[in-house]
Amino acid sequence: MFEAVPNRSTDLPLSIGTDWTGKVPLDRLSLEAENRGDRDVGVGAIVVLDDERRIATSPRRLAPRQRAVLNYDMLDAEPAPTPGETAAVRRIEVALRGLRAGVSYRVSLGNLTFRRLPAVGPIKLEPVAVSARAGTPVRLEWPGAKGELGESEIDVGLKVEHGGHVFLETSTQMVASKREVRLEPVDLSPPQGMPGGEYDVLADTRQVAIVGHPRRRARVGSIRVEESPRERLLRAHIGRHRGAPAIFVDDQPYHGLMYMTYNLAERYVRPMAEAGLEMVSFDTVCGFHPYGLGATTWPEPGVVDFTECDAMATRVLAAHPHAKLLIRTYIACPSWWAEANPDECMVGMTAQGERIEYEEKPGFRPGSWASRKWRRDLGEILRRFVGHLRGAPYGDHVVGLMITAGVTEEWMMFGSNTGGVLTDYSLPAQAAFRAWIRDRYGSEDRLRVAWNDPEATFEGAKPPLPNEVASPGRGDFLELPRQARVADWWLFLSDLTA
């Protein structure tokens, strides 16, 4: 029995599990369950393998007082196993989703069964080629395929891709009849604003192999898209409305509600459109993203590729044709830039005063925000990105950019949450600090009074060491003038970030 009374509402899973060892097939999983509560609940399964993979299914809804066998297609789970795969399991968990505060949930669990899908011989399917104009629906129809399906029908996921990025997603079915196998027709709607060009249609046919194609990524068609004329660019600015800052679009104040997401699936974006929420934001990259939330757009000197942004904008507009796009873009230098410019990268210092070549993630050395070369080079990539957006067929939906950087995309200084290491002690940062205090104080006499240090000079000024930064003041406050140099260092880093 799984019993819970959450103290807050959450869409995050609440799970219980047990250690269990054995080798099982991973195609399908069935779970006997009974909801003994008065509210419906989502029930999912998580299978932890010996190789540390955690394969999580989508939840199945269980109505109040309902008893059922819940069937999960593990080939739709994340991460999806290989069709026909057998693996060693070390733990099984059951997860409840969609919980509401103060509600008593009681779910009884029974047998759990793993099952292998029948092996299906390869099917010969001829790809189709169609042309479409952005903003106009197009139908994909396949002739009958040769082969045996083994089941009456199989769900098939379809992705429209270009350059390795997904522009559109939909689904269909592969259906078996007495004489042939048929991939059901699909109506696609390339949205107004979709870039023109050649696109591949890739099919995930799960356990069914298509002759001559990789399993789960069979190229079953192509679409040539012609761009449609766009409207004029939007005019957007920050102004004051009734005494408070506000976003203005075409001189009209916007209420500010925005849907920001890392998941652009239609089932999430379309409800926002139906609710009347006009502004949508998603994550893109200028350069490199150390947390893996976007594709590298500056893979080598002189080369930029903003295809991922094109794909994201297309997916939003397919679900929300009238969306206004406030695009987030993370700026950071790729590893090749850091290797070519080591003196322009951030330097960390331990509490013991040891200088280190700081890495936020293994292989990622951030460029110093004080480096003129970093600012110039990343500024050029940003300039090219802005030019790309202004010229894109969806440019008439873009209201602006939100530039992000640093720890967790929040402009926090790298090293600020790692513990024991502070940045930035690079030569560019030290030079910028000396220029900052020169501008702040104007004369060394004023600097010496402020720092209570008769020996202080502009040229000799150095950032405080980590142990000085961490030394106690008066509670949460610095003690001046004893810690004036620390205060100036923090103010300098704030100005540098701003």
Rounded Cα–Cα distance for residues 251 and 234 (Å) = 10
Kindly tell me the sign of the dihedral angle through the C-alpha atoms of 154, 155, 158, 164.
negative
* pLDDT (mean) for 433-458: 95
Cα separations in angstroms, 482 against 49, 235, 441, 457, 487: 56, 50, 17, 17, 10
**185 upstream amide cis, omega within 30 of 0:** no
Residue-wise pLDDT for 178-224, tens only, equals 678 888 999 999 999 999 999 999 999 877 888 899 878 999 999 99
pLDDT digits (tens, 9 = 90+) for 37-65: 999 999 999 999 999 899 999 899 999 99
pLDDT-derived band of residue 150, with 50, 70 and 90 as boundaries? low
Check: CB of residue 414 under 8 Å from CB of residue 470: no
What DSSP state is assigned to residue 378? H
**Residue 419: predicted pLDDT:** 67
**Counting beta carbons within 10 angstroms of the beta carbon of residue 249, is it exposed (0 to 12), middle (13 to 18) or buried (19 or more)?**
middle
Bridge pairing between strands 120-123 and 208-210: parallel
> Percent of the chain having pLDDT more than 90?
72
Peptide bond before residue 424 is cis, with ω within 30 degrees of 0:
yes
Of 295, 322, 308, nearest in space to 167 by CA: 308
Strands 244-249 and 236-241: antiparallel
**Residue 232 φ then ψ, to 5°:** -70, 160
For the stretch 239-251, pLDDT in tens is 999 999 999 999 9
Distance between first and last Cα of the chain: 54
**pLDDT band at residue 352 using 50, 70 and 90 as cut-offs:** confident
